[in-house]
Amino acid sequence: MLAGEQGILGIEFSQYPLANFVGQAALACILLDGGLRTSFKSFRVGLKPAITLATWGVFATVMVLGVFITWLLDVDWRFGLLMAAIVGSTDAAAVFSLLRNGGVKLNDRVQATLELESGGNDPLAILLVTGLIALNVDPAGQSVLGFLGLLLQQLGVGLGMGLLFGYLLSRLLPKVHLAEGMYAILILSAGLAVFAATNLLGGSGFLAVYLTGVMIGNHKVRSTEHVMRVMDSFAWLSQAVLFVVLGLLVTPSNVINVWHYSVAIAAFMIFIARPIAVYSSVKPFKFKDREIGFISWVGLRGAVPITLAILPVMAGIDNAFMLFDIAFGVVVLSLILQGTTIPIMANLFKVRIPTNKDPKEEHEVWVSDKASITLYEFEVQSGAFAIGRHPLEISKRVNPDEIRIFALVRGQKIIVTDEDTRLKFGDSVWYAMRGNHASKIAKIFNDTTLNHKAIDDFYGDWLLSPSVKLGDLPFFTGVMSSESLVDTLKYKPENGVKNMWEQTVAEYVKQRLDTAPVSGDTVVISDEWSLVIKEVDDKGRLRTIGLKYQEPLAATP
């Protein structure tokens, strides 16, 4: 905007078709990078609610918001729905960037749902905008059946092309031998080719390129793993180019002239339309109200609405420039209000998960086409258990044959280790490991008194095996005989279900959750006791469960 016609440089730029071309190509690159980083594990806990959000959620948002905009602007309902459709979908670039780089560890169910929704909701949003543009231009020539047919075509072709070419590329890449710097260019160009071909066939290129990235990223081979950082650079460059081009299109004085409309629409969307759409979409999947609240808040708008707002201008719709200016204002308000408050709202809605088991950094070194060694970096935190210990003698739970020191860095210099070496605060140690020991080592380096207290406060003071029976735990001797436990009556042999005290911890938790378990899920046993899931493996099996005691509230006199 500063470089534009009313800015310092005074560059006059009004090439909407060029901006649309650049915007679509940049978004395709961003979605490809997001897909490459989306694990199949996310589909286990977030696929069904994300699909509902990406379809019904977008439709509900547009309907509710469209009614408000029609009233607010006093315009024809077709024009009001078009404005709502332009800002109706969340933006993948904004969601991926802020959730993955914001330093906030979220509940897996919430994070997976948000990321999959943002990666999959563009097709319906684009289709709604396209259909409503046609409805504004030629109302008599449109039909409901034609719209539904176009929707099925977009989703069907996009889904088929993404899965087909994603699978073919994931199998082809290991067989192609190139210089290391070429693999990222090959993946990017192949993704853009899938995007373009899908659009030419009448499908959703955005859905296809995202699924292509998912398929390639989950097939780990030498040719894909080491290009992630390069792809990350491509994604950031795409965002920068995209926002520069869109900023040049904006005339600040026009945005200021309609700022009150932008504020009203953004406020209604954030506090009314989005919560209604999210609640109606994910409540059937047993989401807690606090999770629904956070998902509602992280309905970030970004480059997609501004790019979609270009389409009415290109179609020559009356007052299309007002649509563009209002959409730009809504996006800026969304990013400022919602984007900057994600850590605060994660704490407020209690979806933030305290953790001490993540290494500071990790790099995968491929020594052949099918074999790799992972290097992990751990930094000694103040007050951590690792202080004063030898780098190879920090845990008796790790076999010394499965861990090797790659480098010890102290004061920006590599230190030669010997038998007298002891770790100090601020040291960084790089390990090469066999086996899954990274989380064990990370706890030793990260487990400070403050961090340990936060984790104990969250998960409880006791860790339970999933296979232990509730009735065998000494904590519940008094609870088992209490008649105040409302849910005890539910677990009777005559109902074909075990008495709760004969169930294992895992059986009780899964039965009460009635959804795929994730770290941080809480199941109440009584007023004082609750179970908090701490670790879940990639197949959804419970590994560790915390037992949390809370003093009952004193009765009010």
The domain locations on the chain are 16-348, 361-446, 460-549
pLDDT of residue 553: 54
Question: Which of 1.20.1530.20, 1.10.3720.10, 1.50.10.10, 3.40.190.10 is the CATH number of 16-348?
Answer: 1.20.1530.20
**CB-CB contact of 204 with 249 (8 Å):** no
Whether the pLDDT of residue 549 is over 90: the answer is: no
522-524 vs 413-415, strand pairing mode: unpaired
Give the mean model confidence (pLDDT) for residues 524-536. 83
pLDDT of residue 102: 65
pLDDT of residue 160: 94
Q: What is the pLDDT of residues 175-201, one digit of tens each?
A: 888 877 788 889 999 999 999 999 999
Cβ-Cβ contacts under 8 Å for 259 (sequence gap 6 or more): 329
Give the mean model confidence (pLDDT) for residues 115-120. 80
How far is residue 551's CA from residue 64's CA, in Å, rounded to a whole number? 43
The alpha carbon of residue 325 and the mean position of all alpha carbons in its chain are separated, in whole angstroms, by 28
Q: What is the pLDDT of residues 258-279, one digit of tens each?
A: 999 999 999 999 999 999 999 9
Confidence category of residue 419, pLDDT binned at 50, 70, 90: confident
Fold of 460-549: 3.30.465
Longest dimension (CA), the chain: 85
pLDDT of residue 533: 86
Range with the lowest mean pLDDT among 44-58, 283-297, 360-374? Answer: 360-374
Cβ-Cβ contacts under 8 Å for 44 (sequence gap 6 or more): 516, 540
Do 16-348 and 361-446 share a fold?
Answer: no
pLDDT of residue 482: 55
The alpha carbon of residue 46 and the mean position of all alpha carbons in its chain are separated, in whole angstroms, by 10
Confidence category of residue 452, pLDDT binned at 50, 70, 90: low
Q: What is the pLDDT of residues 453-509, one digit of tens each?
A: 677 678 777 888 888 888 777 777 666 555 444 444 444 444 455 677 788 888 888
DSSP string for 354-396? ------SEEEEEESSSS-EEEEEEEEPPTT-TTTTS-TTSS-T
Whether the pLDDT of residue 556 is over 50: the answer is: no
Return mean pLDDT, the chain. Answer: 83
Confidence category of residue 409, pLDDT binned at 50, 70, 90: very high
Confidence category of residue 361, pLDDT binned at 50, 70, 90: confident
Q: What is the pLDDT of residues 305-359, one digit of tens each?
A: 888 888 898 888 888 889 989 999 999 999 889 888 888 898 898 888 877 677 8
pLDDT of residue 488: 46
**CB-CB contact of 278 with 50 (8 Å):** no
How far is residue 114's CA from residue 295's CA, in Å, rounded to a whole number? 7
How far is residue 249's CA from residue 12's CA, in Å, rounded to a whole number? 8
Q: Tell me the helix, strand and coil percentages in the chain, rounded to 5.
A: 60, 10, 30
How far is residue 99's CA from residue 40's CA, in Å, rounded to a whole number? 18
Give the mean model confidence (pLDDT) for residues 79-97. 83
pLDDT of residue 493: 47
Q: Which residues are bridge partners to 433 per DSSP?
A: 374, 403
Instruction: Please give the structure tokens belonging to residue 99.
Output: 């959730």
Whole-model pTM? 0.79
pLDDT of residue 112: 86
pLDDT of residue 82: 92
User: In CATH, what class is 361-446?
Assistant: alpha beta
Task: Tokens 């409503």: give the residue.
Answer: 132
Confidence category of residue 523, pLDDT binned at 50, 70, 90: confident
pLDDT of residue 171: 87
pLDDT of residue 555: 47
Q: What percent of the chain has pLDDT over 90?
A: 18
Whether the pLDDT of residue 557 is over 60: the answer is: no
Whether the pLDDT of residue 538 is over 70: the answer is: yes
